[in-house]
Amino acid sequence: MDTALLEMNAKKIVSPGRGILAADESTGTMSNRLEGVGIESSAEARRAYRANLFATPNCKSAISGVILFDETMRQTMDDGTPIPEYLASVDIMPGIKVDTGAKQLANFTGEKITEGLDGLRERCSEYFAMGARFAKWRAVIAIGDGLPSNACISTNAHALARYAAICQEQGLVPIIEPEVLMDGSHDAARCYEVTAQILSETFAACEKQGVHIPGALLKPNMIIAGKGCDQQISREDVARMTLDCLKENVPSELPGIVFLSGGQSDEDATAHLNIMNEMDPNPPWQLSYSYGRALQAAALKVWASGTPEESQEAFSHRAKMNSLARSGDWSITLE
């Protein structure tokens, strides 16, 4: 394992003022998003939309890395430059989603286990050769009546650690993403409890399997009440509870935490990150973003109705807002 390379790249991804653009929606998800704004989905439609985002002027000031889906990894910019090559040329690290999706967990109705370990070593090796320097694997944990089961937590924690170990062996920084979903009517305390459990089991599995923590990143949810809960908590409470939960369960040797947005509004995702960085200017790890929807929703809407430049401006604005949130310098007036 090249620990020096992994540590260097992990640190670079969370360098000050920068974060990740998650543009690794699977073909099905991206097609739904495009069709949602009235655009027929095709490989070319997906390429054109994403290539335009990546070509945003001065993108690198707020974006250190982009997570790609396999299809995009093999596509080109408008001028024919391979996308991973183009990103590296503008100082943006190409990353790759390597899981093959969350599938039904046998014996546990309504729960999921993320697949993709078979052949992962070979795929990581190919992606590294194509220019990828980090990877992502998303586990999905649902909260509900009697959910999650211990089986769901332990099987996903084990798979996340196996994924991380294989990535590191192949030179890719693993982004470990155990996502506790916002769906449901649970309160924030329940989200805290479940998030604490999946985080502690995931890091225990990583330790058992020899994952090099200074060469990895964590992509967690924030501590938030379920969408259907009538006791929503303040932005300050989200920030405080999230920081507490992470401090209790995440090793301090981890270089960075890159949150997912998970269905929060664009402004909530920015505000929550901003408050955390304001509350604790020296947390054990860098606190950054790896947003999908919260970085792209506005740009996608404008892509359907405006010019390519206007879509880039919408993306650039959200990227800038989140960049400021890295140091607690965002404020509502800038919106």
Binding site for ligand 13P (CB under 6 A): 22, 138, 177, 260-262, 291-294
Rounded to a whole number of angstroms, the minimum distance from the CB of residue 1 to ligand 13P is 25
State the CB neighbour count (10 A cutoff) for residue 81. 13
Active site residue 177: yes
Cβ closest to ligand 13P, residue 3 vs residue 100: 100
d(CA 163, CA 168): 9
* Least Å from the CB of residue 22 to ligand 13P: 3
Catalytic option among 111, 112, 136, 177 = 177
Instruction: Closer to ligand 13P by CB, 148 or 292: give it.
Output: 292
Kindly name the residue from 97, 112, 136, 219 that is annotated as catalytic. Answer: 219
The nearer residue to ligand 13P, 256 or 292, going by C-beta atoms, is: 292
Q: Which is nearer to ligand 13P, 291 or 330 (CB)?
A: 291
Which of 161, 282 has the CB closer to ligand 13P? 161
- The one-character DSSP state at 250 is S
Residues 6+ apart with CB under 8 A from 332: 267, 271
User: How many helices and strands, by DSSP H and E, does the chain display?
Assistant: 12, 10
Looking from the CA of 89 toward its CB, the CA atoms found within 13 Å total: 9
Q: How far is the CB of 267 from ligand 13P (least distance, A)?
A: 14
**Residue with Cβ nearer ligand 13P (212 or 293):** 293
Q: Which residue is associated with the tokens 């020096």?
A: 4
Q: Which among 3, 8, 10 has a CA at the least distance from the CA of 174?
A: 10
Vertex 285: Cα angle to 10 and 252 (nearest 5): 100
Which are the contacts of 82, defined by CB distance < 8 A and separation ≥ 6? Answer: 74, 75, 76, 130, 131
Helix/strand/coil for 270: helix
Q: Kindly state the smallest distance separating residue 25's Cβ from ligand 13P, in Å.
A: 8
Ordered DSSP codes for 88-123 = HHTT-EEEEE----EEEPTTSTT-EEE---TTHHHH
Shortest Cβ 210–ligand 13P spacing (Å): 25
Which residue's Cβ lies closest to ligand 13P? 292
Count of other CB atoms within 10 angstroms of residue 16: 10
| Distance in Å, CB of 102 to ligand 13P, minimum | 10
Give me the active site residues, please.
177, 219
